[in-house]
Amino acid sequence: MPPKVPKRPPPQPRRDVPRPAAVFDPVARALDRIGDRWTLVLIRHLLGGPKGFQELRVRTGIAPRVLSARLRQLAQQGWVESTGASEAGRSQYAVTERGRTLGPLVAAIARWWVEHAMEEHIADVGPFSETSAQSILESLPFLLKQGPAREADIVFEIRLTGEGGGVWSVRILDGACSVTRGFAERADVRYTAEARVWCAVALGMLDARDAVKRGLLTKDGGRDALDQYFHQIPHPESGASLRSASGGRPRRNGK
């Protein structure tokens, strides 16, 4: 009697790999719309108010040709619009109502980086440019610690001298943070320092108490401190992160 030949399993229906465009994936579709590197960066800066071409260059570092192309693309897609001439006689750009809907996404991405990736970036911070103080200050709303800030009502005034200096008012009210350029009408706490020193303190590369002892930072007013309300990059040797009391370049990784 011949041996029984096992039956072959019935053929399975062929499963072709679909084209990405044929797949319903909200994340993929969203990235198709806003996935360009500069889209959300430009939206983020314009959410704070209309800005001119050169101001956007200073705040982002984008090459002029790339910036021109991205602004034109964003206008075509309905995210950005030209608001006409500014005081300097040049056009300014502002987010449209559609562009404003990206605000929560911008904030979520920024807070993710602060909570999950900022510490890894510490080695790449490098020297501070003349725009670093402004960029750090305007990023404070993304650095806010939600717990301590939830029921707070406090105003910080930041007075910075030297390259990239100026005066800013920072208000925390009921879990939200706003940053405006200029003196505060009522400041609970006032910081005065050279811009580069304050940047090191704000990023956790220099301990604020050590900076005060060394005469690099002056703090007037109440007992509240910035580091109570804002995330900082942990630094293993924060007390020794400046090369000199004159505000030299912060050290990398304590070296």
- Domains of the chain with bracketed CATH: 24-103 (1.10.10.10), 122-240 (3.30.1050.10)
Whether the pLDDT of residue 244 is over 50: the answer is no
Q: What is the pLDDT of residue 91?
A: 85
Q: Which of 128-137, 154-163, 200-209 has the highest mean pLDDT?
A: 154-163
Nearest to 159 by CA among 143, 139, 129, 183: 183
Helix ranges (H only) for the chain are: 26-34, 39-46, 53-60, 64-76, 97-100, 103-116, 132-138, 140-143, 146-149, 195-202, 208-213, 226-229
Whether the pLDDT of residue 84 is over 90: the answer is no
Nearest to 41 by CA among 138, 164, 158: 138
Q: What is the pLDDT of residue 122?
A: 58
C-alpha–C-alpha distance, residues 91 and 72, integer Å: 13
Q: What is the pLDDT of residue 74?
A: 94
| Confidence class for position 206, pLDDT limits 50, 70, 90 | confident
pTM, 2 dp? 0.75
Sign of CA dihedral 77, 80, 84, 88: negative
How large is the average pLDDT for residues 203-225? 90
Whether the pLDDT of residue 59 is over 70: the answer is yes
How large is the average pLDDT for residues 89-117? 90
Instruction: Enter the tokens of residue 41.
Output: 């960066």
Q: Which of 4-13, 37-46, 110-119, 228-237 has the highest mean pLDDT?
A: 37-46
Q: What is the pLDDT of residue 12?
A: 67
Residue position matching structure tokens 């811009």:
195
Q: What is the pLDDT of residue 113?
A: 86
